[in-house]
Chain A
Amino acid sequence: MSEDNKDLMLNIDSLYVEYRTDDAIVKALNGMSLQIRHGETHGLVGETGAGKTTTGLAIMKLIPDPPGVVVSGDIQLNYLDVQKATEKQMEHVRGSVVSMIFQDPMTSLNPVMVVEDQIAEVFEQHEKVNHAEAIKRTHEMLELVGIPAERGKEYPHQFSGGMKQRVVIAMALAGSPGLIIADEPTTALDVTIQAQVLKMMKDLKDRLGTAMLMITHDLGIVAEICDKVSVVYAGRVIEHGTLEDIFDRTRHPYTEGLFNSLPNLRDRKAMLKPIKGLMPDPANLPGGCPFHPRCNYVMDICSTERAPRVYRTEEHYVACHLYNADNIQQGGMIQRD
């Protein structure tokens, strides 16, 4: 993979992040690894508390410290070593190399500033242009996300949720970053607006050639816009592959469980098969494979040893004891409906 690294926008290598409080040490990321190529959309799927958002914040170097501590690991963002970067460097990077779309557009806009000033801030910060020029560019951005430029003079509370998220997207795109981290960008929107916003994000991303890290727990969104998918469990990628690999050649029991928890439109009487149990407490993770207490295929080895990666193709890999180099190819270790 070494010659491949050249066209990597982002390379996270075995990242460990902990939140240290007086009561407990919460292990948010436990050997997180992630590669995103330029222009690629990468889905990061997992339950609440799996470490998805922490991954996003780590890339921006915005993990709240205290209590967050990056214990070890390496983040390369377009040749920049994020861990070694100074705050000044990061201020430059945020917004122009990497930017973030937050989950809730209702709270991610400043309520006392008109929206065009908030977007113009990006231009003023990164391109050292004067206010008038920044506003002009802002109007172009607003039109790009489908908001009439005239509405730029309004306050966030005068926009609907979907419109606000468009503003947030315009803000994220304004510095023409190489990577956008979208942290559940559609969770706070209703379904019809979700589809609109997703489509727009996809179009803009393709048009501008931006890579995107799509953090979500909605497999529907993943199917719609992602090229690659990483399934995260307890702060670690347990299965990674292309969209087709994950959806059609599922290997990991947890990934399988995620699919089985989706309602089946063809058979409406079919019962959902939720994954038993709950996400483990990240302050007190089970030993071995953290998924073993909930796994239907649990073996003795699962509770003692962490599973190594087994590669099915160069891209698709699984971290599960069920598999070895031989049986990974044909699959069939888990039953799929």
Chain B
Amino acid sequence: MTTQATTVDAAALTKKYKKQSQFSEVWRRLRKNKAAMLGLAIMILLVGLALAAPLIYDYDGDVISQNIKNRLQPPSAAHPFGTDEMGREILARVIWGARTSLSIGFTAVLFALIVGGTLGAISGFYGGIVDNVIMRIMDIFLAVPGTLLAITIAAALGPSTINLIIALSISSVPGFARIVRGSVLTVRDVEYIEAAKAIGASNGRILLQHVIPNSLAPVIVHTTLNVATIILTIAGLSFLGLGISAPTPEWGAMLSSGRTYLRNASYYTMFPGLAIMTTILALNLLGDGLRDALDPRLK
């Protein structure tokens, strides 16, 4: 670094290589995966629609107000997805339903990730008795099928959005705890963790700085796929009347009320069903793509 020229060269080199963080690596690989990009595009579209819902349809005017005159109209130019038994625009309810399903899905997964992730990380990192106690409690939760557990909790707490989120989070916590624990276990004994110990780093620091960032890959994949499962469970719970209560638009609840008219107005159930299917498909495509992109063996 004696002359100006070499400094500039080094700076240019740095700029060129700086961007090659692991994140950009993964993004580069993910971009090559067409299915995953399709999934991502659909998810962006859905999230965009959900966010823009108030701009497209008025909640009070189009989504929940009844208009019996127009009940059960088949799809047409005036009613793209048709109308339901109250004369409400199905397209409006599907779009507003995305808002409900996606927000509850992501919030529930976020809670499950924080709680399950913390438990799993502690369990995997400290091992021994701590590990045993935490994981046996998780096993108890895992012994009950997820949907059944959610139904039980939702039924016990009563139907409300918050309760639904709690029910869904609790049933997802053990899965996250397992995934994070397994991932932490593989990272815990790697040499750079030993190297971090050798420079005197404390346990907390090692866990936060070295272990968790390196065990994120499978967790990201599980999160994506879990959002799909949870959206499906919300629909299932609403279908059973334990989820979102009327008149709030929700895909599962729409399926539930539409099934009475299945014979004459199949479009009523078809569109919310399609919405659910598309969302789950998109999330699964994205999750699978992420799994491949994050797999270090494919590097």
Question: Quick check: A62 and B194 within 8 Å, CB to CB?
Answer: yes
Chain A residues with CB below 8 A from B194, complex form = 62, 102, 108
Q: Which residues 5-42 in B have Cβ within 8 Å of A in the complex?
A: 10-11, 13-14, 17-18, 20-22
Chain A residues with CB below 8 A from B1, complex form = 143, 148
Chain B residues with CB below 8 A from A246, complex form = none
Q: Is A227 an interface residue (CB 8 A)?
A: no
Q: Is A168 an interface residue (CB 8 A)?
A: yes
Question: Quick check: B198 and A62 within 8 Å, CB to CB?
Answer: yes
Cα separation A168 to B21 with both chains bound (whole Å): 20
Q: Which residues 138-161 in A have Cβ within 8 Å of B in the complex?
A: 143, 148, 150-151, 153-155, 158
Q: Is B79 an interface residue (CB 8 A)?
A: no
Question: Quick check: B200 and A155 within 8 Å, CB to CB?
Answer: no
Q: Smallest CB–CB gap between B103 and chain A, Å?
A: 30
Cα separation A110 to B215 with both chains bound (whole Å): 12
Q: Is A104 an interface residue (CB 8 A)?
A: yes
Question: Quick check: B22 and A112 within 8 Å, CB to CB?
Answer: yes
Q: Is B261 an interface residue (CB 8 A)?
A: no
Chain A residues with CB below 8 A from B205, complex form = 121, 125
Stretch at the interface among A34-42, A87-95, A325-333: A87-95
Chain A residues with CB below 8 A from B197, complex form = 60, 62, 94
Cα separation A199 to B232 with both chains bound (whole Å): 63
Question: Quick check: B199 and A171 within 8 Å, CB to CB?
Answer: yes
Q: Is B213 an interface residue (CB 8 A)?
A: yes
The residue from B21, B196, B198 contacting A110, defined by CB atoms under 8 A apart: B196
Q: Smallest CB–CB gap between A94 and chain B, Å?
A: 4
Q: Is A111 an interface residue (CB 8 A)?
A: yes
**Size class of the B contact interface (CB-based, 8 Å):** 20 to 34
Question: Quick check: A150 and B10 within 8 Å, CB to CB?
Answer: yes
Question: Quick check: B21 and A155 within 8 Å, CB to CB?
Answer: yes
Q: Is B210 an interface residue (CB 8 A)?
A: yes
Question: Quick check: B195 and A154 within 8 Å, CB to CB?
Answer: no
Q: How many residues on the A side are at the interface (Cβ–Cβ under 8 A)? A: 38
Q: Smallest CB–CB gap between B113 and chain A, Å?
A: 18
Cα separation A94 to B17 with both chains bound (whole Å): 33
Question: Quick check: A155 and B199 within 8 Å, CB to CB?
Answer: no
Cα separation A143 to B20 with both chains bound (whole Å): 22
Question: Quick check: B14 and A102 within 8 Å, CB to CB?
Answer: no
The residue from A94, A126, A148, A158 contacting B198, defined by CB atoms under 8 A apart: A94
What is the predominant secondary structure among interface residues of chain B facing chain A? Answer: helix
Question: Quick check: B22 and A155 within 8 Å, CB to CB?
Answer: yes
Q: Is B209 an interface residue (CB 8 A)?
A: yes
Max chain A Cβ within 10 angstroms of own Cβ: one of B196, B197, B213 = B196
Q: Smallest CB–CB gap between A14 and chain B, Å?
A: 25
Q: Smallest CB–CB gap between B191 and chain A, Å?
A: 4
Map CB proximity to B onto A83-123 as digits: 1 under 8 Å, 0 otherwise: 00000001111111001101010011111111000000110
Given contacts A125-B200, A154-B17, A155-B22, contact A109 B195 (CB under 8 A): yes
The residue from B196, B200, B214 contacting A175, defined by CB atoms under 8 A apart: B200
Map CB proximity to B onto A168-187 as digits: 1 under 8 Å, 0 otherwise: 10011011000000000000
Q: Which residue of A lies closest to B128 (CB)?
A: A66
Q: Which residue of B lies closest to A125 (CB)?
A: B200
Q: Which residues 81-116 in B have Cβ within 8 Å of A in the complex?
A: none
Q: Smallest CB–CB gap between A232 and chain B, Å?
A: 21
Cα separation A150 to B195 with both chains bound (whole Å): 23
Q: Which residues 180-222 in B have Cβ within 8 Å of A in the complex?
A: 190-192, 194-202, 205, 209-210, 213-214
Chain B residues with CB below 8 A from A154, complex form = 14, 17-18, 20
Question: Quick check: A112 and B196 within 8 Å, CB to CB?
Answer: no
Question: Quick check: A108 and B192 within 8 Å, CB to CB?
Answer: yes
Q: Smallest CB–CB gap between B286 and chain A, Å?
A: 21
Cα separation A104 to B190 with both chains bound (whole Å): 11
Given contacts A62-B194, A108-B192, A113-B209, contact A158 B199 (CB under 8 A): no
Shortest Cβ-Cβ A-B pairs, 6 listed: A95-B200, A95-B199, A94-B200, A100-B198, A107-B191, A108-B195
27 A–B contacts, CB within 8 A, in A order: A60-B197, A60-B198, A91-B201, A93-B200, A95-B198, A95-B199, A95-B200, A100-B198, A102-B191, A102-B194, A104-B191, A107-B190, A107-B191, A107-B192, A108-B191, A110-B210, A113-B209, A113-B210, A122-B199, A125-B199, A125-B202, A126-B200, A150-B14, A171-B199, A172-B199, A175-B199, A175-B200
Chain A positions within 8 Å of B, measured between CB atoms, are: 60, 62, 90-96, 99-100, 102, 104, 107-114, 121-122, 125-126, 143, 148, 150-151, 153-155, 158, 168, 171-172, 174-175
